[in-house]
A and B are shown apart, each in its own frame.
Chain A
Amino acid sequence: MNSSTDPQTTAAMQAFIQEENQKAAVQQIISKLTDTCWDKCMGKPGNKLSSWETDCISNCAERFLDTSIFIVQRMEKQAQSRNGI
C-alpha cells in the first residue's frame, strides 16, 4: 500500500472518486425521473412514443426538478423566518 501514500496518487484517486460520484448522482436522478415519469405518462407500449407521451415525459421531468427546487427554497425561507424571530 506504499503507492497510496504518494501525493500524486492520492490526488488522482480523489479526482477519480469525485468524477465517479458525480456520474452516479446524475445517473440516480435520471433513473428516478424515468421511473416516476414512466408511471405517470405511459400507456400501452406502442411502436414509438406518441407526441402526448413525449410532452408528458419532458413536462414531468422538468416539473419534478422544479418541485425539488421549490421545496428546498421554501424550507430555507421557513428556516430564515424562524431564525428572525
Chain B
Amino acid sequence: MASEPSQDEVFLRVRRQLQEQQMEELVRAMTDKCFEKCVKKPGKSLSTSEQQCIAKSMDRYMEVMALVFNTVARKAQS
C-alpha cells in the first residue's frame, strides 16, 4: 500500500503544477504575439521566412520578458 505523501512532496507537486501552468501561459502568449507579427497572410503552410520570423520573435519575446523583469526589480528597489 502506498504511504501518504509527505508535506514536502505535496508542496513539490503543487509547485511543479504551477510551473507547468506558467509554461502553458508563456506558450499561449508567444503564439499569440508571434502569429500576429509573422503570419500576416496565412497560406497553405508556414513559409521558411515565416518560420524564421517566428523563431526570432520567440527569442525577442524572452528577451523582452527578462528586460521587463529587470526593470520592475530595479524600480522596486529604488
Contact = CB atoms under 8 A, between A and B. Distances in A.
Interface string A57-74: 110011001000000000
Contact of A42 (B18, B25, B37): B37
Interface string A12-40: 11001000100110010111011101110
A46 B56 contact: yes
Contacts of B14: 16, 20
Given A12-B7, A16-B11, A38-B64, A57 B56 contact: no
Contacts of B11: 16
Interface size, B (range)? 20 to 34
A47 interface: yes
Interface of A: 3, 9, 12-13, 16, 20, 23-24, 27, 29-31, 33-35, 37-39, 41-42, 44-49, 54, 57-58, 61-62, 65
A54 B22 contact: no
B1 interface: no
Nearest to A65: B75
B2 interface: no
B68 A30 contact: yes
Contact of B67 (A16, A24, A31, A49): A49
A23 B11 CA distance: 14
A65 B72 contact: yes
Nearest to B65: A34
Nearest to B55: A45
Nearest to A54: B67
A46 B75 CA distance: 27
